[in-house]
Amino acid sequence: DAGVIQSPRHEVTEMGQEVTLRCKPISGHDYLFWYRQTMMRGLELLIYFNNNVPIDDSGMPEDRFSAKMPNASFSTLKIQPSEPRDSAVYFCASSSTTGRGSINEQFFGPGTRLTVL
């Protein structure tokens, strides 16, 4: 398996532009997570999906952020309009359930480094 795939790996954009980050989870995993990592705040969970359904989006910072998972093999995180404070590394991760009320290891993608000028 290729692992979790994210694109693009680097994105530089200007304030006010729309940004779309993409993720392909590991095949067979039914949980998908979006995280953001900054020096100031560390790793923060933004939103997660189970079987393509958003379960908890309490970490999404503002209405400018939205995420979708149209099918089991694809998810997007969109920022519109982008602002300089959105500059960070965005990670996607996937996992499967143990069947006993918890999840197995989370596997992370390589991340997308976003710079908003």
Partner 1 sequence: KQEVTQIPAALSVPEGENLVLNCSFTDSAIYNLQWFRQDPGKGLTSLLLIQSSQREQTSGRLNASLDKSSGRSTLYIAASQPGDSATYLCAVGNDYKLSFGAGTTVTVRA
- Chain residues binding partner 1 by CB under 8 A are 31, 33, 42-43, 45, 48, 50, 55-56, 91, 93, 98, 101-111
**Nearest distance from C-beta of residue 111 to partner 1, angstroms:** 5
Give just the sign of the alpha carbon dihedral 52, 54, 56, 57: positive
Which of residues 71 and 98 has its CB atom nearest to partner 1 in the complex? 98
CB 64 within 8 A of CB 116: no
Which of residues 18 and 56 has its CB atom nearest to partner 1 in the complex? 56
| Amino acid letter, residue 101 | G
**Nearest distance from C-beta of residue 45 to partner 1, angstroms:** 6
Residue 114 half-sphere exposure, CB side, CA atoms within 13 Å? Answer: 31
**Residue 84, SS3 per DSSP:** helix
Which of residues 1 and 15 has its CB atom nearest to partner 1 in the complex? 1
**Nearest distance from C-beta of residue 101 to partner 1, angstroms:** 7
Which of residues 21 and 93 has its CB atom nearest to partner 1 in the complex? 93
Residue among 2, 12, 58 at smallest CA distance from 34: 58
